[in-house]
Amino acid sequence: MSARVALIFPGQGSQHIGMLADLVMLEGSDRLIDAAEALSDLPLRHIADAGTPEQLADTRAAQPLLYLADWAAASRALAVGITPSALAGHSLGELAALAVAGVYSVEAGLELVIERARFMAATAAETPGGMAAVLGLEASAIRSALDGIEGIWIANDNSPGQTVISGTPQGLGAATTALNEAGARRIVPLAVAGPFHSPLMQPAADRFVDLVAATAFNDAAIAVLQNTDPAPVTDAATIRRRLSSQIVSPVRWTETMDRLRGAGVSMLLECGPGAVLTGLAKRVEGLEAFAIEQTDIEAFRTEANE
C-alpha cells in the first residue's frame, strides 16, 4: 500500500550558498531568475552563488531565493512521479506551496513574494524588534509566562519544545526573564530583520492584503494546509483570506504536522534548502521526514509507492 506523502516547504533561515541548484536545471530557469532580479533590483544569482551571510539574510533577497528554490525542488519531486496528497509551507514556504498547488503561476507568486519581502523589510526598518527561539518549554507554559507582558507574541509554534516569540526589544527582554524563570532550557535570539509574525508588522500586512486581492487565485489542485489555519483547503477564496493575514499571524506548524498525520500522511519530503523542517518533524510520532537535498529522490519515490 502506498504511503500518503506531503511536500513541505521551508521559509527564511534555510537559505544557503548554492540553493538554486535545482532551479538552474529546469527549462526556463534563466527567465525566472532574470524576472526576480529585475523585480527585486538585487543581484540574486550572485547572492545565491557567492553572497555574504549578510546578503543571504536580507529578507528582500532571502524570500525570492527561497521561493524559487522551494518551487524548483518540488518540481523535481513531481517530475519523478511523487504524488503528494497535501502541501504545507512554513511562513514564506507557504507561498511556494500555493504555486505548486496551482493557486497562481510561479511568475505571479514571484511578484507576490518580492513585494511581500519589500513590505516586510520596510516595516521592520521602522519598527524596532526581533525574534527569539524558546527551547525546552511547552507552548502552554510559554503562553502562561508571557501573560501580561506588553509587546511580545508567539510567532511560530514550531514543534513540541520549540517555540519562537516576536516583539519589541523591551518585550523580548521581559519575556526572556519570565521564560527563564518558568524553566526554559535556552532562549536564542534569531538573526532576523524584525518582529515577524506579530501585530507590529501590520503596515506590511495592510499593503500585502491589497496585492493579494489584485492577484488571480485558482482553486488548489492539491490540498494546502496554511499557517493561519491548518485545516486542509482547496477553495481559492479561503486560501486568499488565510494568506492575507499571514504576515501578522503565528505559524501554527505543530498543529500542521498533527493535521497531516491525522489525515493519514506518513511521509514528508522537505522541498527546498536545508533540513530545518525535517528536524522539526522528527519530534512528531508517526511521521517520517526527508529533506530533498539529502535524499535519493528515486529511492524516496520507490519507498513511498510500496
Average pLDDT over residues 291-301: 90
The larger pLDDT score, comparing residue 192 to residue 132, is at: 132
Give yes or no for a contact between 132 and 145, defined as CB atoms under 8 angstroms apart: no
Radius of gyration of the chain (CA): 18
With CA atoms as reference, report the closest residue to 97 among 213, 216, 243.
243
- Percentage of the chain beyond pLDDT 70 is 99
Domains and CATH numbers, the chain: 4-126+198-305 (3.40.366.10), 130-189 (3.30.70.250)
**What CA dihedral angle connects 172, 175, 177 and 182, to 10 degrees?**
-150
pLDDT band, residue 299 (cuts 50/70/90)? confident
pLDDT at 1: 32
pLDDT at 303: 84
Q: Which amino acid type is present at position 275? A: A
Distances (CA, A) of 178 to 55, 129, 136, 148, 284: 34, 18, 14, 11, 27
The H or E element spanning position 186 is strand 186-189
pLDDT value at 193 more than 90: no
Give yes or no for a contact between 164 and 158, defined as CB atoms under 8 angstroms apart: yes
Reported as a single tens digit per residue, the pLDDT across 3-30 is: 699 999 999 989 999 999 888 888 888 9
Read off the DSSP letter of residue 233: B
The overall average pLDDT reported for the chain is 94
pLDDT band, residue 36 (cuts 50/70/90)? very high
Q: Which amino acid type is present at position 223? A: A
Q: Which are the catalytic amino acids?
A: 91, 197
Q: Does the predicted model carry a pTM greater than 0.85?
A: yes
Give yes or no for a contact between 280 and 253, defined as CB atoms under 8 angstroms apart: yes
pLDDT at 283: 85
Reported as a single tens digit per residue, the pLDDT across 135-180 is: 999 999 999 999 999 999 999 999 988 999 999 999 999 999 999 9
Q: Which amino acid type is present at position 13? A: G
Reported as a single tens digit per residue, the pLDDT across 243-292 is: 999 999 999 999 999 999 999 999 999 999 999 999 999 888 889 999 99
pLDDT at 93: 98
pLDDT value at 101 more than 90: yes
Compute the distance between CA of residue 221 and CA of residue 12 in angstroms, rounded to an integer: 25
Reported as a single tens digit per residue, the pLDDT across 79-95 is: 999 999 999 999 999 99
